[in-house]
């Protein structure tokens, strides 16, 4: 018998849980210096958050970070985008109205310098690189609904408005900043975050301990944001919302940061030093800090300042671990200051390294995702990134890993299973054949064995398992679970060897059809679940199985209804006519080198 999975998420339960955490936020004490000023504001914020979570749970807004245009896109950038795309596609399959925003971060000193080095005016330079991100994303089926460039007029207006709100509330004041600054990271650092290093010419320099990028001492008159006033509110928010930053490891990191001193933040630069940015409203001799400018992009896309509520109340951010501080400390503080709801979730991912080092242009170890997609196919690339990428820890990229993974899981295991049950020898009529209840019965006359029933249970429970992992952005765990089931189904076919059955014997024929029916049902579920990860392969597979586009949503999963003596809409249906290979095996000299024994034997026997 199928067992309903205890992991199945109850949407009502999660709504109630979220409402509870909102209530906890409302009850929690405030102890910041500005708490009197902010108490009223906190309640307004909490109410607007609560009204969203409790009422409209079918709206979803997912964002990627916006990408710097100082260099061409690399594999790490594609990774952020693929994670967000996967979640967006999954939400659509669940019947959500989902918005998916990405774009390019085009202001700041390093862009200004990169444009100068390229001999182009900044806007032309930005347009060219922004275009290369768009090209990569369309090639890799990144199905964003919105693409934002921070040089757009709509964004400038949103940033100006946002600044004025903070200013009018007395949260920005004229001050001076003296300390370390990294232009590469566009980040301010405390002395403890800075270390000594040598540059390429052997000169002693100061670097950021976290990123390794060069830092410089900066002393400037500029505008400061009262970040220090938000420390206790941030702590309250996080303590009341333990799922706000995921995975847990990064949630703990942020809590740890919040135990330390939180100085006010410089939010502008002198125009004489930075021209490529949005001027401070009313004070054009200062340029708005590039991170404040960039973070507001999430609101701009949502329709800020007039029509943002619908989307903004359902915002989820995907970010790499290097930009956690900006998203989990600065951004929520700005939002609290502007009396806007906080993001629902910040999903953090780790980095792709090459030879153990973070990819960087200066190290020359950058992997070009466009070029690699031509070798591995775009779905191959997406599958690899999501199957091997673990949010909690860095992953090292090697070509060998890609070849091995794709050949074994997509070509051999999944593709092989499809070949087996659509081969003309076993399925000459090219149909979704009939399921015979007696053949699969546990009573006398049944031919299934205990492992077969275990497999059915595993596949029946699989959607709930996958749902749990997609929801928490542990896509690799979802793919691991699917891959384990594909192996079980291959084991099922192997165990019963349908090619040995006598097709002239009516009992054997019914059993043969049943084996194929069960296998096709398994494949249908795998293809449905894989849609957010490998849209092209899933489409090919579902089309081959004769599953129509309208039959591909999560609600259509309904695995093997015939086993429960219910109708199966696919039984008797003609298979799709494209009998091409699902995923071609990839040939690599390295992989071939690892099979010397086989080659030797073959040579000997000739
Ligand atoms: N412009 C800022 C983000 C502003 S969002 C308001 C930025 N841009 S970035 O181009 O440097 O990085 C964009 C994303 O790519 C980040 O999530 C970052 O973590 C990710 N990656 C950059 N290199 C990476 C790897 N080597 N591996 C995985 N992702 C990495 O930061």
Residue whose CA is at the smallest distance from ligand 1 atom 15? 77
How far apart are alpha carbons 117 and 114 in whole angstroms? 5
DSSP state of 547: -
Cα 372 to Cα 582: distance, rounded to the nearest angstrom: 19
Q: Please identify, by atom number, the ligand 1 atom nearest to the C-alpha of residue 323.
A: 31
So what's the pLDDT on residue 40?
33
> Tokens 């979802």 label which residue?
478
Instruction: Work out whether strand 194-198 and strand 204-208 pair parallel, antiparallel, or are unpaired.
Output: antiparallel
User: Tokens 């909102």 belong to which residue?
Assistant: 22
DSSP 412-466: IIIIHHHHHHH-TTT-TT-B-----TTTT-SSTT----HHHHHHHHHHHHHHHHH
Give the containing element (helix H, strand E) for 284.
strand 283-288
User: Of 396, 520, 533, 549, whose CA–CA distance to 469 is shortest?
Assistant: 533
C-beta of residue 214 within 8 angstroms of C-beta of residue 199: yes
> What contacts 542, CB < 8 A, 6 or more positions away?
524, 527, 528, 552
Best residue among 299, 320, 364, 394 to mutate for probing ligand 1, ranked by most atoms within 8 Å of CB = 320
Query: Which pLDDT value is given to residue 519?
Result: 98
Sequence-ordered strand ranges (E) for 36-116:
59-63, 67-68, 97-105
Q: So what's the pLDDT on residue 596?
A: 40
> What is the block-wise mean pLDDT of the chain (606 residues), using blocks of 10 residues?
36 34 31 33 32 62 97 95 98 98 96 94 97 98 98 98 98 91 85 88 89 88 96 97 97 97 94 94 96 98 97 98 97 98 98 89 87 96 97 95 97 97 95 95 89 97 98 97 98 97 95 98 98 98 98 97 95 94 84 39 29
> Closest Cα partner for 536 from 196, 141, 210?
141
Contact assessment for residue 546 and residue 100, using Cβ atoms and an 8 Å cutoff = no
Q: Output phi, psi for 261, to 5 deg.
A: -60, 140
User: What radius of gyration, in Å, describes the C-alpha atoms of the chain?
Assistant: 28
Q: Where are the beta strands (DSSP E) in 439-484?
A: none
Tokens for 602, please give them: 């073959």
Distance CA 502, CA 519 (A): 19
What pLDDT does 589 receive? 58
Map tokens 């900006």 to a residue: 326
Report the SS3 class of residue 365.
Answer: coil
State the distance from the centre of ligand 1 to the C-alpha of 349, rounded, in angstroms. Answer: 10
- Strand, coil or helix: 104: strand
Per the CB < 8 A criterion, the answer to whether 141 and 382 are in contact is: yes
| DSSP 3-state of 58 | coil
**Beta pairing class for 283-288 and 265-266:** unpaired
Tell me which residue of 117, 116, 107 sits closest to 268, measured CA to CA: 107
CA angle (32 as vertex; 24, 269 as ends), nearest 5? 115
Q: Nearest-CA neighbor of 440 among 428, 451, 431, 449? A: 449
Nearest in space to 295 (alpha carbons), one of 256, 236, 338:
338
Residue bearing the CA closest to ligand 1, atom 13: 67
Residues in the ligand 1 pocket, defined by CB under 6 Å: 65-68, 76-77, 79-80, 105, 294-295, 297, 319-320, 322-323, 351-352, 358-359
Which residues are bridge partners to 562 per DSSP? none
* Cα 11 from chain centroid (whole Å): 21
- Could you tell which of 322, 330, 389, 394 is best to mutate to test the pocket of ligand 1, judged by most ligand atoms within 8 Å of the CB? 322
Q: Is 277 helix (H, G, I), strand (E, B) or coil?
A: coil
How confident is the model at residue 433, as a pLDDT?
97
pLDDT of 1 reads 46
Q: Which pair of tokens denotes residue 33?
A: 């210096």
Distance 65 CA to ligand 1 centre (A): 7
Q: What is the DSSP string of 340-362?
A: -PPPSEEEEE--EEETTEE--TT
Residue with tokens 């000997």: 604
Q: β-strand 67-68 against 97-105: which pairing, if any?
A: parallel
72 CA to middle of ligand 1, Å? 12
412 Cβ contact list (under 8 Å, min separation 6): 585
The token pair that represents 313 in the structure block: 């109340």
CA distance 600 to 592: 12
Q: Does residue 300 sit in helix, strand or coil?
A: helix
**Helix, strand or coil, per DSSP, at residue 606:** coil
Q: Which of 547, 513, 507 is nearest to 529 (CA)?
A: 547
User: Which of 73, 80, 187, 327 is the pocket-test mutation for ligand 1 (most atoms within 8 Å of CB)?
Assistant: 80
Q: What sign does the CA torsion over 274, 275, 281, 282 have?
A: positive
Instruction: Specify whether the CB–CB gap between 229 and 32 falls below 8 A.
Output: yes
């Amino acid at each position: 018998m199928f067992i309903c999975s205890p992991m199945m998420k109850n949407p009502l339960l999660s709504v109630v849980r979220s409402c509870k955490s909102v209530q906890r936020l409302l009850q929690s004490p405030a102890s910041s210096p500005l708490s009197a000023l902010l108490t009223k504001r906190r309640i307004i914020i909490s109410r607007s958050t609560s009204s969203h979570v409790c009422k409209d749970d079918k709206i979803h807004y997912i964002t990627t970070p916006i990408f710097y245009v100082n260099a061409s896109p690399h594999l790490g950038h594609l990774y952020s985008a693929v994670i967000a795309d996967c979640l967006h596609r999954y939400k659509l399959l669940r019947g959500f109205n989902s918005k998916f925003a990405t774009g390019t971060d085009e202001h700041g000193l390093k862009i200004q310098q990169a444009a100068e080095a390229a001999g182009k005016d900044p806007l032309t330079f930005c347009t060219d690189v922004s275009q290369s991100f768009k090209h990569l994303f369309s090639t890799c089926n990144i199905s964003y609904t919105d693409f934002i460039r921070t040089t757009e007029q709509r964004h400038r207006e949103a940033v100006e408005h946002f600044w004025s709100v903070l200013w009018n509330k007395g949260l920005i004041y004229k001050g001076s900043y003296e300390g370390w600054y990294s232009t590469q990271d566009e980040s301010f650092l405390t002395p403890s975050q800075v270390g000594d290093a040598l540059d390429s010419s052997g000169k002693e320099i100061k670097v950021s301990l976290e990123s390794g990028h060069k830092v410089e001492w900066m002393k400037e008159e500029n505008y400061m944001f009262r970040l220090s006033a938000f420390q206790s509110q941030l702590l309250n928010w996080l303590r009341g919302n333990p799922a706000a930053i995921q995975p847990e490891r990064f949630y703990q990191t942020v809590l740890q940061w919040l135990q330390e001193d939180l100085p006010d933040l410089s939010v502008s630069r002198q125009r004489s030093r930075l021209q490529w940015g949005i001027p401070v409203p009313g004070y054009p001799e200062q340029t708005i800090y590039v991170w404040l400018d960039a973070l507001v992009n999430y609101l701009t896309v949502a329709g800020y300042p007039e029509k943002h509520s619908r989307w903004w109340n359902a915002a989820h951010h995907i970010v790499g671990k290097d930009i956690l501080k900006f998203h989990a400390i600065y951004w929520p503080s700005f939002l609290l200051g502007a009396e806007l709801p906080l993001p629902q979730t910040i999903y953090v991912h780790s980095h792709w390294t090459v030879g153990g080092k973070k990819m960087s242009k200066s190290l020359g170890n950058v992997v070009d995702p466009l070029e690699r997609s031509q070798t591995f196919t775009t779905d191959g690339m997406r599958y690899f990134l999501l199957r091997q990428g673990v949010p909690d820890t860095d992953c090292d990229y090697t070509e060998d890993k890609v070849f091995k993974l794709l050949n074994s899981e997509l070509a051999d295991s999944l593709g092989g299973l499809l070949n087996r049950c659509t081969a003309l020898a076993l399925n000459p009529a090219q149909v979704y054949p009939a399921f015979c209840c007696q053949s699969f019965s546990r009573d006398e006359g049944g031919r299934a064995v205990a492992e077969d029933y275990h497999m059915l249970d595993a596949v029946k429970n699989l959607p709930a398992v996958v749902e749990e992992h997609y929801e928490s952005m542990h896509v690799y765990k979802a793919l691991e679970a699917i891959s384990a089931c594909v192996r079980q189904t291959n084991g099922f076919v192997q165990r019963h060897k349908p090619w040995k059955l006598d097709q002239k014997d009516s009992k054997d024929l019914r059993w043969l059809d049943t084996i194929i029916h069960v296998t096709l049902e398994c494949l249908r579920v795998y293809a449905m679940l894989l849609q957010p990860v490998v849209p092209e392969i899933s489409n090919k597979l579902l089309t081959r199985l004769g599953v129509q586009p309208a039959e591909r949503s999560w609600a259509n999963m309904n695995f093997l209804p015939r086993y429960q003596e219910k109708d199966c809409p696919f039984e008797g249906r003609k298979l799709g006519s494209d009998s091409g290979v699902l995923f071609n095996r990839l040939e690599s000299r390295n992989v071939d080198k690892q099979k010397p024994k086989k080659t030797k034997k073959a040579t000997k026997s000739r």
